[in-house]
Structure 1
Amino acid sequence: MGKQKVTTTIVILGAGFGGLACANALRKGLSRDHRVIVIDRKKSFMMGLVNLWILTGSRKPDEPQAPLAGLNARGMEYLNDEAIRIDVSAKRVQAKEHGLIEYDYLVVALGSELVPEKIEGFVGRGYNLYDAEQVQPLREKLLALKQGRVAVSVMGMPYKCPPAPYEAAMIISDILEKNGTRKNVQVDMYVPAPIALPVVGPQVSKEVVDMMARYNIGFHPNCKPKVVRDDEIEFESGEKAAYDVLAGVPPHRSPEVVRISSLTTSSAAGEWVPVDRLSLRTGHPGVFAIGDVAEVKSGTVTVPKAGIFAEGQAKVVAQEIIDEINNNGAPASSAAYNGQGFCFMEVGNNMAGFVEADFYHEGGPAVRLEPPSAQNYEKKHDFERSRLKEWLL
C-alpha cells in the first residue's frame, strides 16, 4: 500500500467575488496542510460597480486596484495564469504557464465573458458599459454632447448585474443635468425582454420603469439589437432607433475553457454550468461552480448573475469542502445555499436605491426595492471597502 495522502489541494479558477470569497473562507477554515490555489489571468481585482463611479467621475480609471498577490500573504497560492483545459475525469487543470495542476476539489468561478462582436456594427460605434476602459471615453463624449439622443441598450440575456444598465441610464441623465444639456438630449433605454427585469418579476420591473420615468428616460421593451449603424440601431423586430451616443451591455457567454469542457449543457442561454441549487455541486465528484458561470435554478427561476450571489454561493461551497475534509471525505455538511442577496441601485447625484431578493421564496422570487437615498449610496461604498479589506488588503 502507498503512503496515505494527507494534504488536500483545492483549485479555484477565477478571482472575482466568488473565487475570492471561497478562497478566504477555505483558508480560515482549514489548516495550512491543505493547499488553496487561485488561478486568474488578471493581476488585480476591481468590482464591476466601479465602472459606474468612473462614469460619474468620482473614480478615475487609473486609480490603483487591489493586487491579487495579496492572497499569498494570507496563506493561499495565487497563480497569475490562465486555465486552458479542465479534465474532470483525471481531476486536473491545465494552465497556460504552470502546466498540469492536480486537484482534490475544483471550484469554477470564472464568471462570464462579454461578446460585443456578436452585435454587428457595435464595436467602434458604441461604448461597452462593462468595459472600464470604455467608460471614461463615454463620459467625455456625454460631456461634449450639446443636443441629440443617448441610447442605452441591453443587447442579450442573461447578463451580469441586472440593475446596472438602468443605473447607467439614470447616471447619464444626471451627468447631462449637471452639464446643463439635459433638456436638449433625449435618453432612452432599450431591452430585449418584455419587462425591465424579468428575473425580479413584473412588480419591481414596473417600479424601475417608473423610477426612470421620473428622470424622463424612455423605456422600450422587446428591442433586441440586430445591427448597429452610424446613427441608428436596427432591432430584430425591424424597428429602428436613432442615436448620437450609444452605451451598450453586450451579450455574455461562458469562458471558452468552460465551453469546451464536459461541465456545460448546450443551451440557447450560452452554455452555463448546471449545478445543484443547494450545494452548487456539478455532476462531477469534487467539482463545484459558482457565480456568473453557474446556472443556479429554483424551479423555473434562475438566480441572477451578480457578485453578491457569487459570494453567498462561495461561502456555502467553502463550508461543504471544509466539513468534508474534516470528516475524512464523507459529505457531512448542513451548509445549503439560500438564494438570497441584495444590491444597490445608483441613480446619480450621490443617491442609490436598495434591492433585496429571495429567489428561493416558496411562491416565487420575493423582491423589495427601497427608494434612493444618500445612506444607501454610502452603504454601496462601504460594501466595496469591506470586501476588499476582507479578501485582499
Structure 2
Amino acid sequence: MLKGFYRHSPPVCCYIHMGKRIVILGAGFGGLACANALRKGLSQDHRVIVVDRKKSFMMGLVNLWILAGSRRPDEPQTPLAGLNARGIEYLNDEAIKIDIAAKKVQARGHGWIDYDYLVVALGSELAPEKIEGFAGRGYNLYDAEQVQPLREKLLALRQGRVAISVMGMPYKCPPAPYEAAMIISDILEKNGTRKNVQVDMYVPAPIALPVVGPQVSREIVDMIARYGIRFHPDCKPKIVRDGEVEFESGEKAAYDVLAGIPPHRSPDVIKTSGLATSATGEWVPVDRLTLRTGHPGVFAIGDVAEVKSGTVTVPKAGIFAEGQAKVVAQEIIDEISGRPASTAAYNGQGFCFVEVGNSMAGFVEADFYHEGGPAVRLEPPSAESYEKKHDFERSRIKEWLL
C-alpha cells in the first residue's frame, strides 16, 4: 500500500499532495470542533479526515427534550456528510485498530489510513450489561431510542414509585440525571399524577456530584428536594429484579418505573491500542494543558480522555471536549505552519445548563484548574437559561455542519 492512501481508495491521482494528514476518530463535540478549527486554519494541501460510524449528529441533551415532550423522537438529525462541503473528509466507518508505532488507523470498510496527527475523540460507550438484570427492566436515559417509551410509561403511571439510578462513575454530563429527575417530576405534575407517585434519586457516591464538590452538590440536592425528589447517596446497583433494585450495600429499593444511567466504558479499539493506561484501564491519560498522550502526534480529547488537575478529573461533557478540541487544533496548526511552540493551553473551564422542567433551566459555570480546587457556581433556574440552552444547540450545529 502506498503511504498516505486508503487501502480501498479511488485512483491515486485524486490524492497526491505534499500536505499533512490529520485523522480524527469520532464526530461528537470534540471531533467536530477540532475538524472545523483545523480546516479553517490550514490550507487545502492538508487533509482533515473524520471517521465515525454514525451518519448523523445529535447532542445528548436532546434526550431530555424528548423526555419532556418538547422534541419529537422522529425529528431528523443533522447529517455528518455536511462536513464534506467544508473541505473535511468524512468517512462513515468504524475504527477497529490503531497502530501507534506505524502511525496508521484501520477502518472496517476503508482499510488502513496513515496519519501525521491523530486526534482520538471517540467518547465513551454505555455498558448496561454491567448491571445484572437492568436491560429489559429499566430504561436507559442516555439511549435516545428508550427515552420516548419511558415518557409513555410515565404518562400511563397512575401511582407508584419512579427510581432514577446512576449506576456507575464516571459518567458523561454529570447534571443530566438530576435534570431527568426534575423533568420526570414535571411530567407527572402536568399529568395530574405527581401526588400519587414517589420519585427517588439513587447515586453511587456519597454526594450528588463529587466532581464539583460538596457545596454545589448540596445545592443540587436542595434543588431536587424542592420538587419532592428524595436523594439516596452511596447506592451502587448490584442487580435489578422485577420491581426491585438491590445495591452493593445490601439495601433494596422498590420501583414501578426504573430509569438508569448505565456504567460507561471506553471503546474496544482504545483498549487494544495501548492508549488506555489510566488507573482503571478505561481512559486515555493526557497532559492537562496540551491533551497530548505521550505518543508523538497523538492527542485525546473529550469523554475518552482522562484530564486531571491534581486529584481532580475534568468532567465528561461536551463543552469540555469542545474547549480541548480548539487547543489541540491550534497546536497542530502551529506545528504544521512552522511557528514557534504553540502557546495554546487548555484552561479547564466550561459551563452547562441544568434543566428543571416547565421550560426553565439553571446555569453552572466551572473552572476545574482553579488554584485550590474547582471553582463552581450554580445560578438558579430561569427561562433565559432555558432559551440559551436551545441557542447552544443551534449555534454549534450551524458552526460545525451547516
Q: Distance in 2 between the 1:135 and 1:213 partners?
A: 24
Tell me if 1:32 matches 2:41.
Answer: no
Matched ranges for 1:143-182 at <5 A: 143-182=155-194
Give the distance between the partners of 1:53 and 1:266, measured in 2 at CA.
Answer: 34
The change in CA–CA distance for 1:32 and 1:87 in structure 2 (over 3 A counts) is same
Please name the residue that 2:268 is paired with.
Answer: 256
Query: CA distance change for structure 1 residues 204 and 376 in 2, over 3 Å: closer, same or farther?
Result: same
Q: What amino acid maps onto 1:182 in structure 2?
A: R
The residue that corresponds to 2:325 in the other structure is 314
Cα contact 2:278–2:284 (8 A) shared by 1 = no
**1:271 shift after superposition:** 1.4
Which one of 93, 97, 101 corresponds to residue 81 of structure 1? 93
Residues 153 and 191 of structure 1 are in contact (CA less than 8 Å); yes or no, is this contact kept in structure 2?
yes
> Amino acid of the residue matched to residue 298 of structure 1?
S
1:49 deviates by 0.1
AA paired with 1:323?
A: D
Q: Which runs of 5+ in 2 are unaligned?
A: 1-15
Q: Determine the C-alpha separation between the residues in 2 that align with 1:265 and 1:189.
A: 32
Q: Which residue of 2 aligns with 1:387?
A: 396
Residue 287 of structure 2: aligned partner:
276
Q: Secondary structure at the match of 1:6?
A: coil
Q: 1:47 pairs with 44, 59, 72, which one?
A: 59
Q: What's the CA shift for 1:261? A: 0.8
- Structure 1 spans left out of the alignment, 5+ residues: none
Q: Give the distance between the partners of 1:286 and 1:139, measured in 2 at CA.
A: 45
> Structure 1 residue 265: deviation in Å?
1.0
State the Cα distance separating 1:6 from its structure 2 match.
Answer: 2.8
1:326 maps to 2:341: no
Which residue is equivalent to 1:337? Answer: 346
Distance in 2 between residues matched to 1:254 and 1:271, nearest whole Å: 5
Q: How many aligned positions are there?
A: 387
Ranges of 4+ aligned residues in structure 1 off by more than 6 Å: none
Matched residue of 1:200: which SS?
A: coil
TM-score, length-normalised on structure 1? 0.97
| Residue identity matched to 1:380 | K
Q: What is residue 289 of structure 1 aligned with on the other side?
A: 300
Post-superposition offset of 1:267: 2.9
Query: What is residue 355 of structure 2 aligned with on the other side?
Result: 346
Q: CA contact under 8 A between 1:320 and 1:331: conserved in structure 2?
A: no
Partner of 1:233: 245
Structure-1 separation of matches of 2:136 and 2:256: 13
After superposition, give the CA deviation of every residue in 1:291-347 in whole Å (9 maximum; x if it has no partner): 0000000000000000000000000000000000001xx761000000000000000
Conserved in 1, the CA contact under 8 Å of 2:278 and 2:306?
no
Residue 79 of structure 1 aligns to a residue whose secondary structure is strand
- Aligned to 1:215, the other structure's residue is in SS state coil
- Which of 279, 302, 317 does residue 313 from structure 2 map onto? 302
* 1:342 aligned counterpart, secondary structure: strand
Letter of the 1:23 counterpart:
A
Separation (CA, whole Å) in 2 of partners of 1:334 and 1:313: 14
2:370 aligned with 1:358: no
Aligned counterpart, 1:58: 70
* Residue deviations 1:244-277 (CA, integer Å, cap 9, x gap): 0000000001000001111111533x51000000
- Residue equivalent to 2:3: none
Give the letter aligned to residue 65 of structure 2: W
| Residue equivalent to 1:195 | 207
Q: Secondary structure at the match of 1:122?
A: coil
2:103 equivalent to 1:91: yes
SS at match of 1:198: coil
Listed as ranges, the matches of 1:120-139 within 5 Å are 120-139=132-151
Measure how far apart 1:189 and its partner are.
Answer: 0.1
Superposed CA RMSD: 1.0
Contact 2:26 2:121 in 1 (8 A): yes
What displacement does 1:360 show? 0.0
CA contact (8 A) 2:27 2:121 kept: yes
**Structure 1 position 5, deviation (Å):** 7.6
- For the 8 Å contact 1:274–1:294, the answer to whether it is kept is yes
- In the alignment, which residue of structure 2 is the partner of 1:117? 129
C-alpha separation in 1, matches of 2:63 and 2:272 = 30
Tell me what 2:5 maps to: none
Paired AA for residue 306 in structure 2: E
Q: After superposition, what is the alpha-carbon deviation per residue over 1:124-180, rounded to whole angstroms, capped at 9, x for unaligned?
A: 000000000000000000000000000000000000000000000000000000000
Q: Is the 8 A contact 1:292 1:306 kept in 2?
A: yes
Secondary structure of the corresponding residue to residue 238 of structure 1: coil
- Is the CA contact (8 Å cut-off) linking 2:132 and 2:240 kept in structure 1? yes
1:210 equivalent in alignment to 2:222: yes
AA paired with 2:314? V
SS in 2 for 1:344: strand
